[in-house]
Every structure is written in structure tokens, then in C-alpha cells.
Structure 1
Amino acid sequence: MTTDGTSDNRPSKNQRRDAARKKAKQLRVEQQKKDRRNKIFLQGGIGVAALGIVVVVALVIMNSIRPAVPGPANMASDGLLLGEGLTAVTTSALQPDATPVASKPDATGTVANIRVYVDYLCPFCGEFETTNGDQIAQWVESGAATVEIHPIAILTGRSAGSQYSLRAANAAACVANYSPDDFYAFNSALFVDQPEENTVGRSDSDLQDVVKASGVSKSLSEINTCITDETYKSWVIAATDRATNGPIPNSAISAIASTPTVLVDGKQYQGSLKDPKEFAAFVLQSVGESYSTSTSTSTPTPAATTPAG
């Protein structure tokens, strides 16, 4: 007697379990290989990326750190001094790391020595210039005063990354170097439609336009190149550091804490920036005090004599 049926050829439970284990082991091995391969690729990619970052940083550093160059001519004191007729007092360029040579103030006590530290992004500097620029020019033109302007860049970080404060001061230095007698006009022009803080300010091309519009006609090509090359950038940074760290020669203050800082015969003006009469009165008072000091001399006492007998 035979039994009618088919034989069961399906894997047993143990066989299926063994097959699953082998498959799992195979998958683990393949995954480990894949992980090692990805790790190698990842490390290689990170290495390439890191190398790229190093190259970029190196290029930035190389482009930003330039060899120190001499400062602009006619600014050996870190400022440009204008005398009678608004004529610049010429000086040799200040060499890198050299100590500035302070301008000698008028010793007679009859000429007001006005010194102004300005940042071309500073709105208060704009107010002072708008209020007093014309009358200062008249005093200097006539010989009643001298004016020495020190461009500094303490607001470089407030121009949306464009470093306008620094670039404008560099442009002023370019004009001082190549066309010093036009410096006052350019300085005044920078405050017309002055850019506001936290804006990008003027581009280099805009600064070149201001140079031309202010009436500078001498060495325009050299000045334009000086602006785009930022020739005196390192000097502006150094001059700003010197001003903010002090000492400030021929003055009663130790360092420049803000702009504008206005000194008349060494005394700091702290009055209204919008009242030209108040500033004029301060100048008159300062000159009067300087004149009194310069003319006050001790009268010698005659020596006692013994009458002849």
C-alpha cells in the first residue's frame, strides 16, 4: 500500500535560520566595506576642502597684509597744515614706523592754530564742517588762522563691510600727497551728501568723482590710482592708532576719544557744532589767551645802588 502525496522539499526551520544568519553576515561585511570606502572618500574630501580653505585664507592674508609703505607727503604730522592763502605746508613723507613730527604752532599769539581730527563717516564731523567750514577757510585765507586736518578712521566697521571710513581717509591722503593745495576743498566736498553710518558709503569710483568735482585738477590719474590701490591704507590705520592712543602734541588732551575733536591753540572746543558764532567766540578767546601768554614777561627789578659819598 502506498501513500499518495508529495515529499516536502522546503528548508527546515534550522536551515532557514542558518541561511538568514549567513545573509545577515554577508550584509554586515558589505556594509563594513561600504563604510570604510565612504570614510576614505569623506576624509579625502575633507582634506581637499581643508586645503582649499587654507589656500583661500592664505590668499586673503597675503592680499590684506602688505609691506608697510611711507605715508603721504605733506602729512608728516599725521595731518595736513594749511596756512595763509589756504596754501599747504609741504613736508616729506613719513616713513613706516617713524614718529610723526608735530607742526610748530604760531608763537606770536596772533594767529589761531586750529586742528581738526575727522572721520569722513562721522555725522558730527559733517555738522561741524557745514557750520564752520566757510569761516575757517576765510580766516586761513586771510592769515588770521592756520588749520591742520587729521583724517582718521575710527568708524571703519560701520559701513556695511565696505570700510568707507578707511577708504575715504586714504583718498584724502592721496590728494594731500599729489595736490596738497586742493586738500581743503576735497575735505569739504566729502561732507556734501555725506553717507550715513551703517551704509556702504561711496565706492572708489564715487570718491574719484568727488576728487574731480571738488576742483582737483593736478595729478588726477595718480590720485585715481592711489584711491583704487588704497596706497595709504596702512598709514591711515597707523595714524588712527597714534591718534586714539596718544599722546596728542601741543594740546591739553592725551588722546582722541571721538570725532570731531577740534583744538584751538591746544584747547579743545566742546561747544555747539551747529553755532558758528559760538565757535568763533571760542577761537577769539583762545587767541587772546595765547597772546597774553606770549607777551607776558617778567619785569626785572633794578639792582639797589649805593649813593656815592
Structure 2
Amino acid sequence: MTIGGSGESRPSRNKRRDAVRTKATQLRVEQKKKNRRNRFLLQGGILVVVLAIVAVIALVVMNSIRPAGPGPANMASDGILIGEGMKIAETTALKAGADAVPSTPDATGTVADIRVYVDYLCPFCGQFETTNSDQIVKWVTAGAATVEIHPISILTSKSAGTQYSLRSANAAACVANYSPNDFFAFNAALFANQPKEGTAGLDDAAIMGLVTSSGVSASVAEIDACITDVKYKAWVVAATNRALSGPLPNTTVEAVTGTPTVLVNGKQYSGALDDPKEFAAFVLQSAGETYSTSTPTPTPTPIPAG
């Protein structure tokens, strides 16, 4: 007696073996299809990532080669030149991508040509400004000197991510463009309210407050919009790069290596930043050396600090 039914109802050993082989073949085919599908998805994903990376790189490159201008009016030299009576020398704005046009110093040497490269976050610039601003104003007002101020931004990364150095230089450019004869007062206000290096610095609203409190009355709305839009950001970056790469015109000094960089008749001042008498003596010496090699017409000369 056989338990489980007739032997004819059970598949033979060959049939079972054939069934196993067929199933294995089906599994291999399905696995190959799955592998091809996974490879396709993987390659597609990699392609998407690559395209994204290419797009980012292209954006960075385009930003890096973006034209630097137009710059602000009255700063064609990358600085604003202030002369007798504290009146600025008007210049047209630099066109996009144009090189700076150096100011022409007094050929006789009897008018001291003072040039200062400043960063509004730089504490040493603030020290020089506090120490020497009053006597510089006296010299320039009397016609004994000119002063050309070059705002640059070498400390843009030193303000907790707010780019205060760049924003304040842009604000100075905005005032130079829209209300140039108020530039010196606004420049002084930025240093009088100078934040510490490493802090967030002043926000745009606070900078716009200095525009008003420093006595700027013309085109305030345009200046505020210029500050908010960081209108001259590209120009500030370009002017900074020009200062750092050089050459600096009308001097043997190749480039700015730190701020403040102070030049008098093309010679760099390396004395104390907190001693007005030492700076006054340097101005007199530089003017005297230039005077001795020229045929001057008598004009006022800087008076030593009292």
C-alpha cells in the first residue's frame, strides 16, 4: 500500500530539475534587468549632480569676471581728491571694466599731495584719522595740501559674516557719487563710529543714519538706496584688487600691503599713527624735498602741529 496517492501524480525527477532550471533562468533574466535599471538610475543621478556642479562653477566664474563698473562719480582715481577750501575735484564715473585714472599731483611740490588708503574696519586707520584729521583739514582748507582718500575693503571677512568693510566702503562711494562735498564729513563719521574688528559692525540702517547725522542733505534717498543695493560692490572689489596688486601711481611704493597706507608726495609714511607732530614733520620734509627739485610758485605750506 502506498501512502499519498498514485506515483503518477508526482512530477518526475527530470521534470523537477527542468522546473528548477527554468526558474533559475527567469531569476537571472530579472536580475539582469534590475541591474541595468539600477545602473541607468545611478548614471542619471550622477549626471544630475555633475550638471549641478557645473552650474555652480559657471556661476562662480561669471561672478568673478563680472565687469567692475560703473564706478561712482568723482572717484575716477579710485579715490576722492579734496583740495583748497575742502572742495572735491569732480570726475566722471569709471565705465565698466575701465582702469582707474590717477590724479595729477602738484608739479611744484609746494602743495603737499597726501594720499590715504583706508579700510573703515581697520583700527589703525581710525587711529590715524583721529590723530591727524584736524591738521589735514587746516592744510587743505588753506591750500597747503590736497588729500585723496581711497576706501578699500581688505577686512571684508573680519566682521562676523556681515561684510562691513565692503559695505562701508560702498557707502562712502555712494556719498562721493551723490553728495561729494559731504564726503569728508561722512568719512569722519564712519571712523568716529567705527566698530571693533571681528564684530558684526554697523548694519545698513545705522550707516544710513550716519549719512544724515554727518550733515549730508543732498540726495539722501538716492544714497540710502545705493547703500541698500550695495550699488558699488563690484567697484569696491575692483578698486581693492588694484590697490593690492599695484602699481600705485605717482610713487615708488608698489602696492598696498596694509591699512592705512599713507603717501605724501609719493613717499610712504611709516611713523607713529598717534603722533600728529611726527606726521606734520614728515609732510614738511616731503614737501621740502619736492620743492628743492622744482621751480615753485610760493603757496601756503603745512604748519607743524602745535
Check 1:131–1:254 CA distance in 2 against 1; reply closer, same or farther (3 A cut).
same
1:137-165 CA distance string (max 9 Å, x none): 23323433221101123333444554433
Equivalent residues, number: 293
Q: What letter matches 1:6 in structure 2?
A: I
3-state SS of 2:191 partner = coil
Aligned-partner Cα distance in 1 for 2:278–2:44: 70
1:3-52 CA distance string (max 9 Å, x none): x5625978898887766655554444333333333333344444445555
Aligned-partner Cα distance in 2 for 1:118–1:246: 15
| Paired position in structure 2 for 1:6 | 3
1:68-91 CA distance string (max 9 Å, x none): 533221122221111233221212
Aligned-partner Cα distance in 2 for 1:146–1:216: 22
3-state SS of 1:190 partner = helix
| Paired position in structure 1 for 2:300 | none
How much has 1:269 moved relative to structure 2?
Answer: 0.6
| Paired position in structure 1 for 2:95 | 95
Q: What letter matches 1:238 in structure 2?
A: A
Aligned-partner Cα distance in 2 for 1:71–1:245: 19
Instruction: Tell me whether 1:275 sits opposite 2:262 in the alignment.
Output: no
Check 1:252–1:61 CA distance in 2 against 1; reply closer, same or farther (3 A cut).
closer
Aligned-partner Cα distance in 2 for 1:218–1:177: 11
Single out whichever of 46-55 and 232-241 deviates more from structure 2. Answer: 46-55
Q: Retained in 1: the 8 A contact 2:69–2:94?
A: no
| Paired position in structure 2 for 1:129 | 129
Single out whichever of 114-123 and 98-107 deviates more from structure 2. Answer: 98-107
Aligned-partner Cα distance in 2 for 1:167–1:64: 18
Check 1:40–1:282 CA distance in 2 against 1; reply closer, same or farther (3 A cut).
same
Larger Cα Rg: Structure 1 or Structure 2? 1
3-state SS of 1:174 partner = helix
Check 1:153–1:11 CA distance in 2 against 1; reply closer, same or farther (3 A cut).
same
Check 1:54–1:76 CA distance in 2 against 1; reply closer, same or farther (3 A cut).
same
TM-score of the pair, normalised by structure 1: 0.77
Check 1:36–1:294 CA distance in 2 against 1; reply closer, same or farther (3 A cut).
same
Aligned-partner Cα distance in 2 for 1:41–1:99: 51
Aligned-partner Cα distance in 2 for 1:150–1:172: 10
Q: Retained in 1: the 8 A contact 2:68–2:238?
A: no
Kindly report which structure 2 residues correspond to 1:174-253, keeping only aligned pairs within 5 A, or say none.
174-253=174-253
Q: Identity over the aligned pairs, expressed in percent?
A: 67
Q: What letter matches 2:150 in structure 1?
A: H
| Paired position in structure 1 for 2:303 | none
Q: Retained in 1: the 8 A contact 2:69–2:98?
A: no
Q: What letter matches 1:278 in structure 2?
A: E
Aligned-partner Cα distance in 2 for 1:108–1:61: 46
Aligned-partner Cα distance in 2 for 1:197–1:215: 26
Check 1:218–1:278 CA distance in 2 against 1; reply closer, same or farther (3 A cut).
same
When the two chains are superposed, the root-mean-square deviation of aligned CA atoms in Å is 3.4
User: Structure 1: which 5+ runs fail to align?
Assistant: 297-309
Check 1:216–1:240 CA distance in 2 against 1; reply closer, same or farther (3 A cut).
same
Check 1:221–1:33 CA distance in 2 against 1; reply closer, same or farther (3 A cut).
same
| Paired position in structure 2 for 1:302 | none
How much has 1:116 moved relative to structure 2?
Answer: 0.2
3-state SS of 2:234 partner = helix
Aligned-partner Cα distance in 1 for 2:107–2:180: 24
How much has 1:119 moved relative to structure 2?
Answer: 1.9
Kindly report which structure 2 residues correspond to 1:258-297, keeping only aligned pairs within 5 A, or say none.
258-294=258-294
Q: What letter matches 1:141 in structure 2?
A: T
Single out whichever of 20-29 and 68-77 deviates more from structure 2. Answer: 20-29
Q: What letter matches 2:3 in structure 1?
A: T
